[in-house]
Amino acid sequence: MKLSQRIQSNGFYVFAAAVVLFALYTRSWAGTLGFAIIFGIPLFAMGELPPYATRAQKIGKYAYLTICTMIFIFLVLPILVIIPLSFNAEPYFSFTDGMLALDSAAYSLRWYADIFRFGMTAPDAIEGWWADMWANATWIRAARNSFFIAIVSTALATGFGTLAALGLSRPEMPFRTAITSLLISPMIVPLVITATGMFFFYGGTMQGIIPGYENGLANTYLGLVLAHATLGVPFVIITVTATLTGFDQSLIRASQGLGANGWTTFTKVIMPLIIPGMISGALFAFITSLDEVVAVIFLADVDQRTIPRQMFSGLREQISPTILAVATILVIMSILLLTTVELLRRRSERLRGLSPG
Amino acid sequence: MSDATLDMPVGGTAQRAGNEPLVAADGTPLKQKLAQTTRRMKLRALMLTMPLVLFVLIAFVAPIGDMLFRSLYNPTGSNVVPAFAEAIQQWDGQDLPSEETVKIFVEDLAKARRSREIGRTVGNLATRLNYELPGYRSLVTKTARRAARITEGPYKEALFAIDKRWEERIVWTTLQRITKDYTLAFYLAATDRKYDADGSIVQADELYRIYVPILWKTIWVSALITALCFIIAYPVSYLLSTLPLRISNLLMILVLLPFWTSLLVRTSAWIAMLQTEGVVNNIFVYLGIITDESRIQMIYNLQGTIIAMVHILLPFMILPLYSVMKTIPPSYMRAARSMGASGTYAFMRVYFPQTVPGIAAGTLLVFILAIGYYITPALVGGNDGLLISNLIADHIKKTLNWSLGAALGTILLVVVLVFYWLYNKLVGVDNLKFG
Amino acid sequence: MKLKNMLLGTVFGAAVAFGATAAMADGHAKELTVVSWGGAYTKSQVEAYHKPFIEETGIQIKSEDYNGGIAEIKAQVEAGNVTWDIVDVELSDAVRACDEGLIEPLDPSILPAGADGTPAQEDFLEGTLHECAVANIVWSTIFSYDTTKITGDVPTTMADFFNTEKWPGKRGLRKGAKVNLEFALIADGVPAAEVYDVLATPEGVDRAFAKLDTIKDDVVWWEAGAQPPQLLADGEVLMTTAYNGRIFNAVAGEGKPFEIVWDGQVWDLDLWVIPKGAKNKEAAMEFLKFSTATEQLAAQASYISYGPARKSSAPLVGKFHNADIDMGPQMPTAPENLTNAVQNNFEFWADNADQLNERFNAWLAG
């Protein structure tokens, strides 16, 4: 059906009338837009129905698509809503009248500035501002901690995880199910239990075992890195094994038959195939660490506070739109990461000839 | 690998002389050589996983083992009053302990009073006693303060003079019990039970029962969340699996975006959405569904927890459903229809059964994740939206009853592992996928 | 392929480098860490104690906030990694922490004499010196309301706080059993002097919970001391219990239209304690001596309405630092505020906190 045809259908007239009525009744551009989206999208998505479809079938399909539209809105709306809210000029979590009227005075960047200024000793000083911000701003310190812990734990999880996935995907691997279950279990065991165990073990039992950490690993970066690496492992295992399913083991024999040694086989044959899986696994592990807060609550001291930990206490005690500004930045980051993973997945599928593109 | 050579059987030569089997270049029978090679390959595969297995064992399994251990092992009693801990075990539990035992107790208490070593102070014993006999904390601290002044018998009378409660037999039976290092008391507490004066197990007073009701609540709330996720995910997954790949990939991003977004971000988003001055209430007021004064409390309660958790866990349901539905050829439904089945009938008998593996995977995963959730209930749960994880965290971080926290954790762990085992049986852990 | 090798090399190289940094990041010395209750209260301490102390000794201070309890101290001491040097705690917590050996014993004779020469042991109010703790202030939990929201017939007694028929609206209460049970009994007609006798009986506890039951559906629970003034200002609650100094500062400092009701107030002490094994114990002792001197205690009282723990400070207490308000009548210890007041019974709470909180949680969840 062409667009012009669709516009001439009965359904469209009903829809247009409803939108106009709604607009007249509420006199709100935002409300009308929402209304039009919820009920308009399904109309355009109706697509081709066989000519013999009854009216009931048409309405049924329309209702089904409307429900699906609403579910998609349910999925993304909360995440999108925080973006405009983070530009609120007022210290609230809600839309002000000014914001709805698109009054530019109702919007401001003050909460983004607050990310840098909060916690600084002299936020208005000109000299030494950068050094002060880098060293003292609460959110900046949290961001440094977050990235530091995430990068190190991701490297650990990816290194160990890739090796293990290579072993697990070999056809001759013994105890495969048992070992896989063990390695996946950090994802299954509730975080509170993991964190409680680590709180006891890292903090108490490990005292005096590791040189340089006579007091155990509680309140140390090392403890958090170990905890987060453990939590990232399942993701690496899952993604790398997924890229290795359908991996033709005879390629290895072929490469060996052609005189390549183990290392060459690994770098020239295996690596190119698993690199996409490794990277997406690493990204999963990275984002898991970046997002993890329970272990941080149990194991970290104020010095090791991460972004989500800071958000957690912010949400518990004094809710300020700074949290939304931070959240917006995180959403943008997730979008970038998601795009990367999506591109990698497609590349990997193309390489292995699994999908048309 | 050097291990393989060590494994060479000793009787190799004798066998070769017998049936003249096929031999490899080095003279070993081919069958044996094959077994050797297989073993070597197995070993190599195993070696690849070993670093990670070791890492996970140390960094993850050992801590959980530590937690299990601490739920059973609490040496406070024998640490603080070591001599008494031995002596009291001789007591038969009738009347009161002997004068000699009480003397040892008073001496131990006086010694402990001077101790400032962590875990060996009078306060530790008092706290431990208070867990099992609420309100008796000060009995120990008060007595300890004066214990050094009791230098001669009769010791029992001296204690009675300090506090009448020393005449109660239950104090001594409890002391006898808590001076043993291994105890089930914390599992009793975690299941709303306790010991009475005779050492038999009884239910806690109704007003103090909290853990069993919360555990059940956690289970039914998780089940409800799983059911809601399923109801919402099914139509969407179906839509995604039937649309052309180009469009479904695009829509998939809408599913994956929440999946990739920080948990804290999504929780704050729901606070912004559901609070009394929030977006949803504003819309309701706007549409005239409610008045400005009668805004609905949608967050900081169980309802808020459920809404936010459904949103957070939904992708875990959609993804497995979608990956199963994608493999079902649309021609099956068409065939059923062309043979005269009604739409509903064809769906129920042909399509739905084929999606069961996806349903099993999705529901079990969502349920397992929901049952241990902590952050979201802690932030938006208010009072009636708290789940068992929140109580565990409270005991570890706030009330400091670590043994009780560990016991509750162990109970939760067992529940989760049962479902994990079920998942492994029904779905297979290697079928987990993302995106 | 070269690129991928390099990538892999870089990742592992970075891991090693970061690992080394982690080890380094885990072991560097810091300044004196003073831990208190945040918000206006910490601010008053920064003005009255920290700033002059830094000026006099040159020792830098890092200020941290917490919400009370001994959990963090215990966790740090048991882990052997004590990052807090001196902590402001409630009396019942000080007693328990001392019993469990979590804090250093303190010899009161090291404290400086009062400005008028009275030895410290006599200068401090009775019960404010403990074997492990030195009190700095007397504070109180009261209830407060917004005078622009409640006009005409205003609440004057604790019973009014529980009267949701006459004053319909949300109530703010601190999450936990402590103080709330006392309030409930007072509101139910128990004279302040008998509150703990009644609460010591099972029937008394039932009675308190029954009274709380009457407003349960209307309660908004708060945890941090900074929350109640915020709740009142946002109109989230009609009345709320609060620490008296926080309300006073919202009124005097920010011009908020809040009124304090002193009837049924439960007052308590805040004390300095030094966690066992504190890394800067010497400096912490210096800070403790400095901050509990006559002058500093009096100075703090000009930033927040909490009563100084020294008798010799009382005559020096004047006006609020930036407004013409006499601080004397704002103190929990002012005679007119003490007509129907309860002193928090630390022994009762040390004994019963675990059990009553358990019941409180069961009650909340039910």
pLDDT at C29 (0 to 100)? 45
Which of B 294-323 lie inside 8 A of A, CB atoms?
A: 311, 314
CA-nearest residue to C234 within chain A is A92
Structure token pair of residue A194: 């993991």
pLDDT of C168-181, one tens digit each? 999 999 999 999 99
Interface of A with C (CB under 8 A): 148, 151-152, 155-156, 158-159, 203-204, 207, 212-216, 218-222, 225, 267-268, 271-272, 275, 282, 301-303, 316-318
Chains touching C by CB (3 or more pairs below 8 Å)? A, B
pLDDT at A330 (0 to 100)? 93
Inter-chain CB proximity B401 and C354 less than 8 Å: yes
A271-291 and A138-168 helices, crossing angle to 10°: 140
pLDDT at B18 (0 to 100)? 53
Inter-chain CB proximity A318 and C226 less than 8 Å: yes
Per CB-CB distance under 8 Å, the chain B contacts of C70 are 400
CA-nearest residue to C39 within chain A is A318
Cα–Cα distance measured from residue C204 to residue C190, given in angstroms and rounded to the nearest whole number: 10
Taking the CA of residue C1 and the nearest CA in chain A, the distance in Å comes to: 7
Please count the CA atoms within 13 angstroms of the CA of B175 that sit on its side-chain side.
30
Instruction: Name the CATH code of domain A137-351 (choices 2.40.30.10, 1.10.3720.10, 3.20.20.70, 1.10.1740.10).
Output: 1.10.3720.10
Of the segments B111-125, B197-211, C126-140, which one has the largest average pLDDT value? C126-140
A271-291 and C2-25 helices, crossing angle to 10°: 30
Per CB-CB distance under 8 Å, the chain B contacts of A192 are 372, 374, 389, 392-393, 409, 412
Stretch among A251-265, B97-111, B233-247 having the lowest mean pLDDT: A251-265
- The answer regarding whether domain B213-265+294-431 maps to CATH 3.40.50.850 reads no
Q: Is the pLDDT of residue C10 over 70?
A: no
Question: Where residue C9 falls among pLDDT bands split at 50, 70, 90?
Answer: low
CATH architecture label of C32-138+269-337:
3-Layer(aba) Sandwich (3.40)
| Strand pairing report for C219-222 and C61-65 | unpaired
Chains touching A by CB (3 or more pairs below 8 Å)? B, C
By C-alpha distance, which of A143, A66, C366 is closest to B384?
A: C366
Best residue in B42, B69, B74, B265 for a mutation probing chain A (most A CBs within 10 Å): B265
Inter-chain CB proximity B134 and C276 less than 8 Å: no
Close Cβ partners of A151 (under 8 Å, ≥ 6 residues apart): A286, C14, C15, C18
Residue C205: how many other CB atoms lie within 10 Å: 21
Q: Is the pLDDT of residue B114 over 90?
A: no
Which of A 226-255 lie inside 8 A of B, CB atoms?
A: 226-227, 229-230, 233, 235, 238-239, 241-242
pLDDT at A7 (0 to 100)? 54
Q: Does A279 touch chain B (CB under 8 A)?
A: no
Best residue in B66, B129, B137, B404 for a mutation probing chain C (most C CBs within 10 Å): B137
Cβ atoms of C136 and C130 within 8 Å: the answer is: no
pLDDT of C23-51, one tens digit each? 455 544 458 999 999 888 999 999 999 99
Cα–Cα distance measured from residue B336 to residue B341, given in angstroms and rounded to the nearest whole number: 6
By C-alpha distance, which of A129, A93, A125 is closest to A111?
A: A93
Per CB-CB distance under 8 Å, the chain A contacts of C223 are 316-317
Inter-chain CB proximity C359 and B135 less than 8 Å: no
| Helical segments of B57-195, H only | 62-72, 76-80, 82-87, 99-114, 122-132, 137-147, 155-162, 169-178, 185-190
Cβ atoms of C87 and C280 within 8 Å: the answer is: no
Taking the CA of residue C330 and the nearest CA in chain B, the distance in Å comes to: 32
Q: Is the pLDDT of residue C95 over 50?
A: yes
Candidate from A182, A197, A324 with C-beta closest to B268 = A324
Boundaries of every domain in chain A: 3-81, 86-132, 137-351
Inter-chain CB proximity B263 and A293 less than 8 Å: yes
Residues of chain A with pLDDT under 70: 1-9, 47-49, 318, 351-357
pLDDT at C80 (0 to 100)? 75
Cα–Cα distance measured from residue B310 to residue A288, given in angstroms and rounded to the nearest whole number: 19
Inter-chain CB proximity C362 and B208 less than 8 Å: yes
Candidate from B66, B416, B434 with C-beta closest to A197 = B66
Tokens 């690998």 correspond to B1
Stretch among A212-226, B301-315, C285-299 having the lowest mean pLDDT: A212-226
Taking the CA of residue B242 and the nearest CA in chain A, the distance in Å comes to: 12
pLDDT at A260 (0 to 100)? 86
pLDDT at B333 (0 to 100)? 84
Mean pLDDT of B37-49: 90
> Is residue C240 helix, strand or coil?
strand
Candidate from C11, C226, C227 with C-beta closest to A158 = C11
Cβ atoms of A78 and B270 within 8 Å: the answer is: yes
Count of H helices and E strands in chain C? 15, 11
pLDDT at C26 (0 to 100)? 52
Boundaries of every domain in chain C: 32-138+269-337, 141-265+344-365
Stretch among A325-329, B20-24, B156-160, B285-289 having the lowest mean pLDDT: B20-24
Inter-chain CB proximity C359 and B386 less than 8 Å: no
CATH number of C141-265+344-365: 3.40.190.10
Taking the CA of residue A155 and the nearest CA in chain C, the distance in Å comes to: 6
3-state helix, strand, coil in chain C (%, to 5): 45, 20, 35
Which of B 246-285 lie inside 8 A of A, CB atoms?
A: 251, 253-258, 260-273, 275, 277-279, 282-283
Per CB-CB distance under 8 Å, the chain C contacts of A148 are 18, 21-22, 25
This complex has an ipTM of: 0.87
∠ CA(A274), CA(A278), CA(A283), 5° rounding? 155
Cβ atoms of C164 and C214 within 8 Å: the answer is: yes
Residue B240: how many other CB atoms lie within 10 Å: 23
Per CB-CB distance under 8 Å, the chain A contacts of B435 are 280, 341-342, 345
Cα–Cα distance measured from residue A128 to residue A151, given in angstroms and rounded to the nearest whole number: 28
Cα–Cα distance measured from residue B399 to residue C361, given in angstroms and rounded to the nearest whole number: 12
pLDDT at A213 (0 to 100)? 85
pLDDT at B11 (0 to 100)? 45
Inter-chain CB proximity A190 and B38 less than 8 Å: no
pLDDT at B434 (0 to 100)? 60
Tokens 């009227």 correspond to A101
pLDDT at A352 (0 to 100)? 65
Best residue in B55, B128, B208, B396 for a mutation probing chain C (most C CBs within 10 Å): B208
pLDDT of B340-391, one tens digit each? 888 888 888 889 999 998 999 899 999 999 999 999 999 988 878 889 999 9
Structure token pair of residue B184: 């089930």
Per CB-CB distance under 8 Å, the chain A contacts of B266 are 78-79
Candidate from A216, A268, A303 with C-beta closest to C79 = A216
pLDDT at C42 (0 to 100)? 92
Per CB-CB distance under 8 Å, the chain B contacts of C181 are none
Stretch among A321-325, B22-26, C88-92, C327-331 having the lowest mean pLDDT: B22-26
Q: Where in chain B is the domain with CATH 1.10.3720.10?
A: 213-265+294-431
